[in-house]
Amino acid sequence: MIELLGSPAWLLGLFVGFGVLIGLLFGFFGMGGSFLVTPALMVMGYKTDVAVASGLAFVFATSVIATLKHRDLGQVDYKLGVLMIAGTTAGIEVGKIGLHFLQGMGLADTVVSIIYVGLLGGIGAFITYQATKGDGSGGISHDADAEADAEDIPDIAKKIQSYRVPPMMNLRGDITVSLWMILGVAFVTGLLSGFLGVGGGFIRMPALFYLIGVPVPIAVGTDLFEIVFSGGIGSFLYAMDGAVNLSIVVPLLAGSALGARLGAGATSLVNEDEIKVYFGVMLLLGALAVAVRKIGNVMDIPVLQTVSLVMILGAATLVAGAVVVSSIQALRSEEAPTPTAAD
């Protein structure tokens, strides 16, 4: 049997294909890496520390690739990203304190699982509902500095932007918001991330849009920019302990290098409401999968762990396929000749 990097060729091929799928979702949504990679590796029999470390290393490298593509499209607000990193870091520390408190009471696992499923499902349902209410007429502008349409800014974001507490920050998309509002939103998202022990992409991206009013493509690109830092620190710490498995990370990256750029490019083609619908559906299916896994743990039914993983991978494949189809349709409509009056 042919082996590369100490693994059989068929396994490396599987990882490459998996990397394309995850990279596409990561580039399109700004999340999805650790959501999929870590549980998949654990079900495949890898040790927990290896699964977590390799997943983090993969997420870090993929976020770099996707961020560079979003940068090319003008969809990264570096000023906002740095401010979010500062606020999120403080929130994570406080969230960890709360988690340790619950662990001391023996309630951490149950409370975290309930909040995690509730957040995934709640955010997913809210985003899907809001997106399906849209008229679907607005695409995504390639010009990240173009003035945002007031009708496209969520009401709660307008309310937050109305608090003119200096210093005021000018963000891409001609958005002005108080520094303290940005740090407050960042702190809350960090608090949830630290408490739940997750990367927080599924929290940050909606927060940037619904709470601060950042256009969805810039929200995705800026979220990925933040992940570069958080994933980089985590990867370095685990690598120092020798937990990163290159036979996993290298083929995953080979696939995601293509997938991430395709996903990032798709955000400039697909209608903004469609992005939000796909994101919402992804979170709803993820919430269901996490609930099934929790039931399997509580009732000691190992097969439900596999069922949960199949549900997550199936949802990811379905959503990724929908993104690709929508992008192809958008390209075809752009290439189609416009009928003239003479015709």
Is residue 339 assigned to a domain? Answer: no
76: left (phi over 0), alpha (psi -120 to 50) or beta: beta
Rounded distance between C-alpha atoms, residue 113 and residue 295, angstroms: 10
Q: pTM (2 decimals)?
A: 0.69
Rounded distance between C-alpha atoms, residue 187 and residue 190, angstroms: 5
Is residue 341 assigned to a domain? Answer: no
Give the number of domains in the chain.
Answer: 1
DSSP codes of every residue in 201-267: HHHHHHHHHHTT---HHHHHHHHHHHHHHHHHHHHHHHHHTT---HHHHHHHHHHHHHHHHHHHHHT
Rounded distance between C-alpha atoms, residue 51 and residue 326, angstroms: 33
Range of the structural domain that residue 196 is part of: 7-333
Is residue 342 assigned to a domain? Answer: no
Where is 34: in which H helix or E strand? helix 33-43
Residue 80 · residue 186 · CB < 8 Å: no
Is residue 116 assigned to a domain? Answer: yes
Burial of 67 (0-12, 13-18, 19+ CB in 10 A): buried
Ordered per-residue pLDDT tens for the chain, 343 residues: 455 556 677 778 888 888 888 888 777 776 656 666 776 776 677 777 787 778 778 878 878 888 888 888 888 999 999 999 898 888 888 887 887 788 788 777 777 778 878 887 888 888 788 777 754 433 334 344 444 555 567 888 888 888 888 999 998 878 889 999 999 988 988 888 777 656 667 778 888 888 898 888 888 889 888 888 877 777 777 778 787 888 888 888 888 888 888 888 887 787 767 777 877 887 788 788 878 877 887 888 888 878 887 887 787 788 888 888 888 888 888 776 655 555 5
Is residue 13 assigned to a domain? Answer: yes
CB proximity list for 341: less than 8 A, separation 6 or greater: none
**Angle between the N-to-C axes of helices 201-210 and 272-299, in degrees from 0 to 180, rounded to the nearest 10:** 140
Residue 201 · residue 32 · CB < 8 Å: yes
170 forms beta bridges with: 176
Residue 323 · residue 24 · CB < 8 Å: yes
Is residue 340 assigned to a domain? Answer: no
